[in-house]
Amino acid sequence: MATTKSRRRRLRFGGGEVETLGDGIARVKGIKNVQAGEIVIFQDGTRGLALNLEENNVGVVLLGTSYRLSQGSKVFCTAEIARVPVGEDLLGRVVNPLGKPIDGQADYRSAGMSEKRLLLRRIESSAPGIVVRRSVEQPMQTGVIAIDSMIPVGRGQRELIIGDRQTGKTSIALDAIINQVGSKVICVYVAVGQRAYTVGQIKEALETTGALAQTVIVAACANESAALQYISPYVGATVAEHFMYEGCDTLVIYDDLSKQAQAYREISLILRRPPGREAYPGDVFYLHSRLLERAAKLGAAAGGGSMTALPIVETQAGDVSAYIPTNVISITDGQIFLSKDLFNAGVRPAIDVGLSVSRVGSAAQIKALKQVAGKLKLELAQFAELQAFSKFASELDNVTKFRLDRGMRLREMLKQPRTAPIPVEEQIAIIYAGTNGYLDDLSLDQVGPYLKDYRERVRQASTSDKRPYIDTVRTTKVLDDGLQRLLAETAQEVLKNYVRK
Ligand code: ATP
Ligand code: MG
């Protein structure tokens, strides 16, 4: 129950009472000096967030549901802006946006864990200033070959994952988390308005791959109030921010911001704020900009930590020019566009390379990957162009046919199952084989098995002067002549086992 301190505060700030109540919103009169964003407590212990400060009353959204409140119920101020517990004890846990564990395991407070490992932190805080930041310089590898090679993400970057429903958005985000196993990157996955079952599956996927131990899941499922869905991304950012200021690299996923915008629209309409385009309130841009601005790469003086944000936005029928998609596209440093057509054609992950872009990440890409990725991008661009045009032609000249064949094999090469991220050293070897023509003599369905064998060989391969491929690339980050020769020899060697059907 209430501590003496907060009781004293309540006395100082006085209480008010509920005037009207409905749809998760209470209008409260008589609470003087309440601040915007302050937590208020109802007489039955339910918490609320003061959002609309008006002349005669205050509009409060309920954080949670209560059936014991009525007109005239007492309301107390707390003089506290909403805060949540952050710290190491959250790792491996699923919490709701109020910081309570919802994974059925012991509450970290009652489990007698050290107090020091959990701190309270405000869910709304201002983004790091310009002076303490530095530009993106380290890669945040996702393990998805098409992304790391052509749309690279750097630590501290904000990269949007956008696409229709069921196009593999969540899968890409999960791959990015799973790929951090073995590194010190702390991951936060925020689930907004998803089914509890889906969140359970996500937890399971992270658990089986060993990524859960360094991940915090913040979940406001579809049955939670709009208010909790609205605050959950800020809570996720707060959890990550704590680690960032401690000097850690963090990765935070907001899945997805369209649902958060809808929850915010719901609250705003019930609070009778004026609706604007698509009935969203006027400050819906600020809703997302103040969240994504909190992602940063800090300079050494500020601890050198970083927060990489991968927000997800759902489109309707691929329409990226709708209100929320254009807003978030303009706030982020690039987008990964997932196409329904590609997904249905069996290209998975269904990344549309032509519409995807990363505006800052290539500065952080490792040199060896840069060496091979340029050619890949070019060949795929040529392929996309020729493919559109060759639909009309009955006979193709040899060069066109060659480009189309090569493109189809490269596309096959970029296919990747979910939850199976590929280490960057192997990505480089794969792209080297693809762009140097070692896949050209294979039939399309041989490409997958061939690459599997090839990867296995590459993992064991060493140059003539006894330098193992994987370790050398990992330490030098360059693909020198010796290593290129080694890849060429290995690719050719494996090719012997595959005769074109
Ligand atoms: P929603 O809009 O429902 O959130 P989403 O865009 O997040 O969907 P996912 O849930 O990630 O999409 O994936 C949709 C389906 O596609 C899932 O059944 C998943 O197993 C499948 N899928 C995703 N990525 C791949 C892949 N690389 N290879 C094969 N199947 C995949
Ligand atoms: Mg999803």
For ion ligand 2, residues whose CB falls within 5 Å: 170
CATH architecture of 2-80: Beta Barrel (2.40)
| Nearest ligand, CA 146 | 1
Residue identifier of the C-alpha nearest atom 16 of ligand 1: 168
- Are 232 and 192 contacting, i.e. CB atoms less than 8 angstroms apart? yes
In short, whether 339's Cβ falls inside 6 Å of ligand 1 is: no
Task: Name the token pair of 274.
Answer: 């004026």
Region 478-482 average pLDDT: 95
Nearest residue by C-alpha to atom 8 in ligand 1: 166
CB 170 less than 6 A from any atom of ligand 1: yes
Determine which one of 290, 359, 457, 467 is catalytic.
359
**Residue 499: is its pLDDT beyond 80?**
no
Q: Is the CB of 349 under 6 A from ligand 1?
A: yes
- Taking CA atoms, 99 is separated from 145, 194, 227, 249, in Å, by 35, 18, 14, 21
| β-pair type (334-338, 160-163) | parallel
How confident is the model at residue 392, as a pLDDT? 75
- Report the mean per-residue pLDDT for the chain: 92
Percent of the chain with pLDDT over 70: 95
- Looking at residue 2, its pLDDT comes to 45
- Nearest-CA residue for ligand 1 atom 29 is 417
Per the annotation, the verdict on 359 as an active-site residue is yes
φ, ψ dihedrals at 151, nearest 5°? -130, 60
pLDDT for the residue numbered 13: 56
Q: What are phi and psi of 220, to 5 degrees?
A: -120, 95
* Helices (H), ranges, 115-256: 145-150, 169-178, 196-208, 226-245
**pLDDT, average across residues 250-261:** 97
Q: Specify the higher pLDDT residue, 253 or 3.
A: 253
Question: Rounded to 10 degrees, what is the CA torsion of 411, 412, 417, 421?
Answer: -60
Residue located nearest, by CA, to atom 22 of ligand 1: 168
pLDDT at residue 442 in the model: 94
CATH class given for the domain over 368-495: mainly alpha
The Cα-based distances of 476 to 367, 424, 473, 484 in angstroms read 9, 13, 5, 14
**Torsion-angle region of residue 37: left (phi > 0), alpha (psi -120 to 50) or beta?**
left
pLDDT of the residue at 195: 96
Report whether 166 belongs to an annotated binding site: yes
What proportion of the chain, given as a percentage, has pLDDT over 90?
85
**Residue 135 beta carbon below 6 angstroms from any ligand 1 atom:** no
165 is in an annotated binding site: yes
Query: 168 CA to middle of ligand 2, Å?
Result: 7
- The segment(s) of the chain belonging to CATH 1.20.150.20 are 368-495
Indicate the top mutation candidate among 171, 172, 314, 348 to test ligand 1's pocket, ranked by most ligand atoms within 8 A of CB.
Answer: 171
Distance from Cα 132 to the centre of ligand 2, integer Å: 34
* Per-residue confidence (pLDDT) for residue 6, from 0 to 100: 54
Q: Is 236 annotated as a binding residue?
A: no
Position with higher pLDDT, 217 vs 78? 217
Which superfamily, per CATH, for 84-97+125-365? P-loop containing nucleotide triphosphate hydrolases (3.40.50.300)
Confidence at residue 117, expressed as pLDDT on a 0 to 100 scale? 72
Residue 164 known to bind ligand: yes
* Structure-token pair, residue 426: 């192997």
How confident is the model at residue 106, as a pLDDT?
A: 81
Q: Is 167 annotated for ligand binding?
A: yes
8 CB near ligand 1 (under 6 Å): no
Ligand 1: does its nearest atom lie under 6 Å from the Cβ of 418? yes
Cβ count within 10 A of residue 367: 11
CA 168 / ligand 1 centre spacing (Å): 3
pLDDT in tens, 382-429: 998 898 888 777 788 889 999 999 999 999 999 999 999 999 999 999
pLDDT at 65 over 60: yes
Q: Tell me the pLDDT band of 1, cut-offs 50, 70 and 90.
A: very low
Q: Which residue from 166, 258, 312 has its CB within 8 A of the most atoms of ligand 1, so it is best to mutate?
A: 166
To which H or E segment does residue 209 belong? none
Q: Please, where in the chain does CATH 3.40.50.300 lie?
A: 84-97+125-365
Distance 409 CA to ligand 2 centre (A): 28
Residue nearest to atom 23 of ligand 1 (CA): 168
- Please write the tens of the pLDDT for every residue from 158-211: 999 999 999 999 999 999 999 999 999 999 999 999 999 999 999 999 999 999
Tokens of 488: 């060429």
3 CB-near residues (< 8 Å, 6+ apart): none
For 315-330, write each residue's pLDDT tens digit.
999 999 999 999 999 9
For the chain, give every residue range classified as CATH 2.40.30.20. 2-80
Q: Determine which helix (DSSP H) or strand (DSSP E) holds 260, and give its type and residue range.
A: helix 257-270
Please work out whether the CB of residue 169 comes within 6 Å of at least one atom of ligand 1: yes
Does the C-beta of 143 come closer than 6 Å to ligand 1? no
Query: What is the CA(222)–ligand 2 centre distance, in A?
Result: 13
Per-residue tokens: 313: 């936005």
Span between the terminal Cα atoms of the chain, in Å: 74
| Cα of 494 from ligand 2 centre, angstroms | 38
For the Cβ of 258 lying below 6 angstroms from any atom of ligand 1, the answer is no
Give residue 306's Cα distance to chain centre: 14
Residue 342: its pLDDT value, please?
95
User: Could you report the per-residue pLDDT of 100-154, keeping only the tens digit for each?
Assistant: 999 998 887 665 555 557 889 999 999 999 999 999 999 999 999 999 999 999 9
Distance 173 CA to ligand 1 centre (A): 11
